[in-house]
Amino acid sequence: MSETMKACVLHAVGDLRYEDVPMAKRGEGEVLLKIRAAGVCGSDIPRVFEKGTYHFPTIPGHEFAGEIVDADDKALIGRRAAVFPLLPCRKCAPCQVGEFANCENYDYYGSRRDGAFAEYLAVDIRNLILLPDDLSYACASLVEPGAVARAAVRRLEVKLGDTVVIWGAGPIGLIAAAWAKKAGAGIVRVVDISEEKLAFAKKFGFEAYDEARDGLCDCAIEGTGAPQALCNLIKSMKPHGRVILMGNPARDMTITQSVYSQILRREITLRGTWNSSYNDQINDWEATAKAMADGDLIDYEALITHRYPLDRCLEALEMMRDRKEFYTKVTIVMD
């Protein structure tokens, strides 16, 4: 195998370079994964252009799938896999009960350590989700947003016939809408400020929420991170409504006094969600991979509006940052 590989390396805020780096080497308990598809997450935009990674240089990319090309267990070679990107310490209290998303001292592919905007990555064997051979890699790279969406919907505790509204019709929002439907919701609607996103959502069977027609909601997911959306969302809730807060806040999430009062008067439950569960009892990753393989959730492939090769990764990120084109999921694909 060659001594070097191609990767997109973040050297400083805004300084992403496609270059040769030393070949990824697997250590004990790791396999070598040839990356075949890596999604660009909305969070990668501020990570690359505003906030940076935890240290430089770092290779971003945390939503990925690939082919196992080297492993101690030879039966794994050639297998397709998605990867849970969080590396828990396995020592702290949350880790002791398998709540790895709450780990107090975790590592993370693509933010705290090198990730998948590269030809290869050494991956902890415990983080592999093995997939069927006939599942496309592009599809497999969507297990991550699929698992995040599932975790959010799981926390909503949807009851049969509930009216569920998802605020924010990006890829996670649309997958969450599909999970809500599968969980037994009667009506599932979406809200977005972009008419193009609403038109795109309609192709998947999710119409825009209209309070006059659909009535107040039993459940809602806040996926925009915008204070005005949160206010409107709360106003649309039925008494005893359940709200999951999922969207990363773009700024302070200020709400008005009257909206705050409605939370009290209508006895609304607000609950946060973070990442996804990955343990023996609850595994959003295995469940997502299974639903994907069974083809009974959503047309994942159709969520991908843009595909870029690795050497054009920066162009993909700039297109998203500047909203040059309408996009939903942007994916880096590698042969």
Tell which positions 188-217 bind Zn ion, by CB under 5 A.
none
**Selected range binding Zn ion among 38-46, 213-221, 316-324, 326-334, rule: CB under 5 A:** 38-46
Cα–Cα distance for residue pair 252/162, rounded to 1 Å: 30
CB nearer to Zn ion: pick between 219 and 245: 245
- Crossing angle (nearest 10°) for helices 284-294 and 143-156: 110
**Selected range binding Zn ion among 11-19, 69-77, 81-89, 115-123, rule: CB under 5 A:** 81-89
Task: Report the nearest approach of Zn ion to the CB of residue 86 (Å).
Answer: 10
Task: Report the nearest approach of Zn ion to the CB of residue 227 (Å).
Answer: 22
Task: Report the nearest approach of Zn ion to the CB of residue 290 (Å).
Answer: 21
Residue 1 near residue 22 (C-beta atoms within 8 A): no
**Selected range binding Zn ion among 99-107, 190-198, 221-229, 304-312, rule: CB under 5 A:** 99-107
Beta bridge partners of 64: 38
Work out which of 33, 95, 185, 233 binds Zn ion, going by CB under 5 A.
95
Work out which of 9, 103, 153, 289 binds Zn ion, going by CB under 5 A.
103
Work out which of 1, 12, 77, 89 binds Zn ion, going by CB under 5 A.
89
Task: Report the nearest approach of Zn ion to the CB of residue 150 (Å).
Answer: 14
Handedness of CA 323, 324, 330, 332 (dihedral sign): negative
Is residue 38 at the binding interface for Zn ion, with CB under 5 A as the rule? no
Is residue 259 at the binding interface for Zn ion, with CB under 5 A as the rule? no
Task: Report the nearest approach of Zn ion to the CB of residue 32 (Å).
Answer: 23
Q: How many CA atoms lie within 13 A of 328 on its CB side?
A: 26
**Selected range binding Zn ion among 69-77, 89-97, 175-183, 276-284, rule: CB under 5 A:** 89-97
**Selected range binding Zn ion among 98-106, 123-131, 194-202, 256-264, rule: CB under 5 A:** 98-106
Is residue 88 at the binding interface for Zn ion, with CB under 5 A as the rule? yes
Task: Report the nearest approach of Zn ion to the CB of residue 75 (Å).
Answer: 30
Q: What are phi and psi of 90, to 5 degrees?
A: 60, 20
Cα separations in angstroms, 221 against 14, 29, 37, 162, 245: 32, 38, 28, 13, 6
Task: Report the nearest approach of Zn ion to the CB of residue 284 (Å).
Answer: 14
Is residue 173 at the binding interface for Zn ion, with CB under 5 A as the rule? no
Residue nearest to Zn ion (CB): 41
- The CA-based diameter of the chain, rounded to the nearest angstrom, is 65
Phi-psi region of 314 (alpha: psi -120 to 50; beta: other; left: phi over 0): alpha
CB nearer to Zn ion: pick between 95 and 297: 95
Handedness of CA 49, 54, 60, 61 (dihedral sign): negative
Work out which of 92, 125, 216, 314 binds Zn ion, going by CB under 5 A.
92
Is residue 41 at the binding interface for Zn ion, with CB under 5 A as the rule? yes
Exposure b/e, 192-217, CB count within 10 A at least 16 = b: beeeebbebbeebebebbeeeebeeb
Cα–Cα distance for residue pair 218/153, rounded to 1 Å: 13
CA–centroid distance for 273 within its chain: 12
Task: Report the nearest approach of Zn ion to the CB of residue 62 (Å).
Answer: 6
Task: Report the nearest approach of Zn ion to the CB of residue 64 (Å).
Answer: 10
- Say which residues have a Cβ less than 8 Å from residue 36's Cβ, sequence separation at least 6: 65, 66, 67, 137, 140, 141, 333, 334, 335
Contacting positions for Zn ion (CB under 5 A): 41, 88-89, 92, 95, 103
